[in-house]
Structure 1
Amino acid sequence: MPISDADKERIAEAIAAAERRTAGEIVCVLARRSSDYAYVPPLLAALIALIAPWPLVFFTELGVRLILAIQILVFIGAALLFSLPPLRLALTPRFVKRERAHRAAIEQFFTRGVSATRDRTGVLIFVSLGERYARIVADEGIAAKIPQEDWRAALDLLLARVREGRIADGFVDAIGECARLLSKHVPPGGHEELPDRIYVI
């Protein structure tokens, strides 16, 4: 478990304290990773298996059947090796991981009901550990008042703590910074619409 129950409680308390300063609704999501990237091992293994026979064809006297058998073994071996989770994640191109993490953040924005608040004042704080990715997604009621670049300070705090292994501290600090921003543009009022909690997926 990336964070303890005590950490979850501390984050929930930080959200509750933040929402006393603003009508904005803050939701936190921590993902171990945004995808299993199951398609990466067979793709890479297929590429290696396509290349493997050529040195055998040009530099050995092996027969076609034996070369084809070696090619199949190379594919199976490479696919099994690349299926090891740390290696699979390391071999996935960075742009693919960022795109998948971004998509996961948007999915969580809708799944957790952040987009469904009455005045469209929801904010999602999303972290995906496997991809080393973090994002703050604000609904249109807030995005119209606070430009995306203003969330940078909260993201910097969050990422700095996560790099140090202090995930809960990162969320608490980011929540506090979000509350500071929100209180300027979305004053307190209304009623609680979303649970004060962090979702770990």
Structure 2
Amino acid sequence: MTLLSERDQQQVADAIARIEQETDAELVTVLATRADDYTYVSLVWAGLIALLVPGLINYYPLWLDAHQLLLAQWLTFIGVGLLFRIPAVTSRLVPRSVRHWRAGNLARRQFLERELHRTEGGTGVLIFVAEAERYVEILVDHGISSRLGDETWAAIVQAFTEAVKRGETLQGFLTCIDACGQHLRTHVPLTHTRNELPDRLVILP
């Protein structure tokens, strides 16, 4: 995960504060290291490969007895399981559609847990990033979606996703917040001063 210093995180918070001075929207940013640890994936692969051990031993006769064969299977299961727990390896085993599905689910949980659905006028905006999955999503409540369609956010999400791929997560956040602000200032202008939700960047391990 890209390490964001306290100074980096403060830059994100300051960017949100500036935008919220000109709009009724309540922005919350969340950065997740990964959407899931995918433990089940490593276990499934380890189990399947361990089951192949007897066949490989029969193909290359090693004359193992039943106890030695069982030990070989267990060692294979443990070794492969540990290997496939390495994030860089795991990410190559999990289909992109599954990774994005898990990330999308986490984004929606965060929208509810951060109480973005409880803002005055339904003006909550979540900017969510799952870094390992290289997944970016912007979720908005009804007060925003009634004025701005999904197509508004598509180009912003695409640009942010490319920044995450390049390892430029901080700059991606700052650019994304500024781009969102341009739309929000116009379509959801400030009517009265309020700050219902924290401006800080939420980091999930």
Distance, in Å, in 2 between the alignment partners of 1:168 and 1:63 is: 55
Match of 1:194 in 2: 197
For structure 2, the 5+ residue unaligned runs are: none
| Contact in 2 for aligned 1:105/1:135 (Cα 8 Å) | yes
| Contact in 2 for aligned 1:101/1:131 (Cα 8 Å) | yes
Greater mean alpha carbon deviation, residues 134-143 or residues 67-76: 67-76
Instruction: Note the 1:112-191 alignment, pairs <5 A.
Output: 112-190=114-192, 191=194
| Contact in 2 for aligned 1:120/1:141 (Cα 8 Å) | yes
Match of 1:57 in 2: 58
Distance, in Å, in 2 between the alignment partners of 1:47 and 1:154 is: 41
Distance, in Å, in 2 between the alignment partners of 1:46 and 1:170 is: 40
TM-score calculated relative to the size of structure 1: 0.91
- Per-residue CA deviations over 1:36-85 (Å, capped at 9, x if unaligned) read 12222111100111222123335537355043332222212211222233
Percent of residue pairs identical: 38
| CA separation of 1:13 and 1:39: change in aligned 2, threshold 3 A | same
Count residues in correspondence: 201
Structure 2 SS opposite 1:52: helix
Greater mean alpha carbon deviation, residues 90-99 or residues 27-36: 90-99
Greater mean alpha carbon deviation, residues 91-100 or residues 56-65: 56-65
Structure 2 SS opposite 1:120: coil
Greater mean alpha carbon deviation, residues 71-80 or residues 38-47: 71-80
Structure 1 SS opposite 2:152: helix
Instruction: Note the 1:13-52 alignment, pairs <5 A.
Output: 13-52=14-53
Match of 1:88 in 2: 90
Structure 1 SS opposite 2:47: helix
TM-score calculated relative to the size of structure 2: 0.89
Quote the offset at 1:151 in angstroms: 0.3
Structure 1 SS opposite 2:39: coil
| CA separation of 1:165 and 1:59: change in aligned 2, threshold 3 A | closer
Greater mean alpha carbon deviation, residues 54-63 or residues 107-116: 54-63
Counterpart code for 1:22: T
Quote the offset at 1:88 in angstroms: 2.6
